[in-house]
Amino acid sequence: MLRGALPIYLFGEVVDNLTRLGASLVSMYKWRQFIFKLKKLNDIIAQEGQELQCCICLGNITKGK
């Protein structure tokens, strides 16, 4: 091996890390798009005598998305 040469096996590690970084950036972009779209939704306000239920925690909703 030449002095100062980069070992060839490190290129696989670099490519792997860049691939993971790219996937993380795509996930972050999708998450930010989801949050942006969620903030644009109008709030739902329950009317008198109407009970709205959260599909996640199954609690009653008085105001929310």
pLDDT, mean of residues 30-54: 87
The answer, yes or no, to whether residue 1 has pLDDT greater than 60, is no
Top pLDDT among 43 and 19 is at: 19
Q: What is the pLDDT of residues 2-38, one digit of tens each?
A: 677 778 888 999 999 999 999 999 999 999 999 999 9
pLDDT confidence band for 60 (50 / 70 / 90): confident
Residue 46 · residue 65 · CB < 8 Å: no
Q: Which helix (H) or strand (E) holds 25?
A: helix 9-40
Residue 18 CA to residue 57 CA, distance in Å, equals 38
How many angstroms separate the most distant Cα atoms in the chain? 80
Distance of CA 37 to the CA centre of its chain: 13
